Chains A and B, each alone.
Chain A
Amino acid sequence: MSKVDPEKLMVKAEKLTKLSFTRWTADWKSAVVLYEQAANEFRATRNDEKAKIAFEKASKCHEMISQPWDAAKHLESAGSLAKQLGEWNEVLDFFRRASELYSECGRAQPASDALAKGARLLAEVNPEEAIRLFNDACAILEEDGKEQMAFDLYRDATEVYIKLERYTDAASLLLRWGLAADHCKAVNSQCKAYLGAILVYLYTHDFKQAEKCYNDCSQIDAFLSSDQGRCSSKLLAAYEEGDAEEIKRICLSSAISHLDHMIIRLARKLPTGDLTSLRAKDAEEEALDEDDLT
């Protein structure tokens, strides 16, 4: 292939797509070929801006000739180029559109992959959007019944939540993860997700919530009889007794060391806050109960 000036290609392709007096219908097929060529040339010469535009136009041509798969592929390339250029809105748009096109093809996995890629690229800059993308990706997979693929997404989304210090959201996401694991009978992941949720609640020093969470999760036999269940009951008992040394020891145990690293980081910082205040609150409550009984 002789080296053709990509600019010239772009101009030629433009002419093909523009409707004019002599041209009644746009010739998308040939235009798309030219656009693809031009885009590859631009990418090779590291001209990201022009390459991005070329990919975008190529994708539009594909849409016109109803080839959503190729269109989506080009949009993904355009999206990664946009990320290099730092145009975050465009990144978001491109990946969302790509995901929609994949869904049009009826392929859920690539659709959620596209959203996940976009979310990972946006995680640093726009975490809110990233979380939304992750949630949508998980939803797509769950609709399709492929929850197992969603584990990685849940893990990344939890990481973003913890970075944002939105711990209650992180904990609820972990519980959703546990639910997804339950659907596909991944008992180990389920128990690990539940233990992670309890740890996050304890990190926010919300002992009541942690206990409630433990009680809810104990309804599930698999969790109750698992290592993680035992570990969490020991941890809660240590919290009730206010034994900081015991808590530290449990957090160094193997059940917790096999969780995801960001949760281990939280666990190592336990116990947060004052343990005696928990006990005082419990004692008060007990006194009230006794009064009620008499």
Chain B
Amino acid sequence: MSVIDILTRVDAICKKYDKYDVDKQRDLNVSGTMPSPAYSSMWRTTSRERFRCSFSSACLSSELASKEKNRASAVAMNAEIRRTKARLLEEVPKLQRLALKKVKGVSKEELAARNDLVLALPERIQSIPDGTASAVKQTSRWSASASSSHTEIRVDSTSDGKFESEYFQRTEESNQFRQEYEMRKLKQATGSRLDAIAEGLDTLKNMANDMNEELDRQVPLMDEIDTKVDRATADLKNTNVRLKETVHRMRSSRNFCIDIILLCIILGIAAYLYNVLKN
């Protein structure tokens, strides 16, 4: 979920519940610090006051934002400033119309001056720093951290991309941001990364199936080897036992002693015969 999405939703919600915002209402009813007493007679309208208040608050917030260390809140504040600026720009044409109205007690020069002031207003509004120049790049990087800080807001991903104009006024910064967002989304939807993953999975599946078949092929072979080797082992054991028995019989100690005794007897007899014959 990108920051702009979250922010627009926050804005929408805030706007909806603006009338419950006590602080804001108080602000609206208190006259702001906007200069130029030339306006004082003419501009005693709530629109003027609102304008003044919004303008001053925008300037104030921009100052705070530039001082803000926490990036996420800086982003939020910048977005708020942008929203305010958009609203102010909206009101400029109204002021323009009011400026052109002929009200008694106002000289022609004043009228012209007022007109000029009104025309200068948009520039002044735009010049309020809202950190958009660097913010676009940075917010894209911070989107992860920003979205994690807004976890209490539930985001609805199915209505992505449906930014109706009632949610916010388009400035070129927001347009640019939105374009970037849509491009990113398109890339994800065509899924170059997802495609790679899918292809890898297909290869894995194929390999796994082939391995499965190979193992199935080898199971009966292994069984055959098992039987044959068992038979060979039994034969070998058998042979070994018989061999041991034979050797044992041939070389048993009892037979050996008898052999030696018989040999001695024969030698004795031979010696006796030799003696007899010699004599």
Residues of A within 8 A of B (CB): 148-149, 184-186, 188-189, 227, 254-255, 258
Contact = CB atoms under 8 A, between A and B. Distances in A.
Interface string B197-215: 0110011001001101100
Given A148-B216, A148-B217, A149-B217, A188 B210 contact: yes
A184 B216 contact: yes
A185 B203 CA distance: 21
A94 B203 CA distance: 42
Interface of A is mostly: helix
A254 B217 contact: no
Contacts of B199: 254
A56 B130 CA distance: 96
A186 B216 CA distance: 9
Contacts of B216: 148, 184-186
A255 B206 CA distance: 9
22 contacts: A148-B213, A148-B216, A148-B217, A184-B216, A185-B216, A186-B216, A188-B206, A188-B209, A188-B210, A188-B212, A188-B213, A189-B213, A227-B202, A254-B198, A254-B199, A254-B202, A254-B203, A254-B206, A255-B202, A258-B202, A258-B203, A258-B206
Nearest to B199: A254
A189 B199 CA distance: 20
Contacts, number: 24
Given A148-B213, A227-B202, A254-B198, 9 more contacts: A148-B216, A184-B216, A188-B210, A188-B213, A254-B199, A254-B202, A254-B206, A258-B202, A258-B203
> Which 3 pairs between the two chains have the least Cβ-Cβ distance?
A254-B202, A188-B209, A148-B217
A184 B198 CA distance: 30
B95 to A, nearest CB: 58
A60 to B, nearest CB: 29
A185 B202 CA distance: 21
A69 to B, nearest CB: 15
A67 to B, nearest CB: 19
Contacts of B213: 148, 186, 188-189
A188 B212 CA distance: 9
Nearest to A148: B217
Contacts of B217: 148-149
A109 to B, nearest CB: 9
B84 to A, nearest CB: 51
B191 to A, nearest CB: 15
Interface in B175-203: 198-199, 202-203
Nearest to B210: A188
A155 to B, nearest CB: 12
B7 to A, nearest CB: 40
Residue of A185, A188, A227 with most chain B CB atoms under a 10 A cut-off: A188
Contacts of A186: 213, 216
Contacts of A189: 213
A188 B217 CA distance: 13
Nearest to B212: A188
A188 B198 CA distance: 19
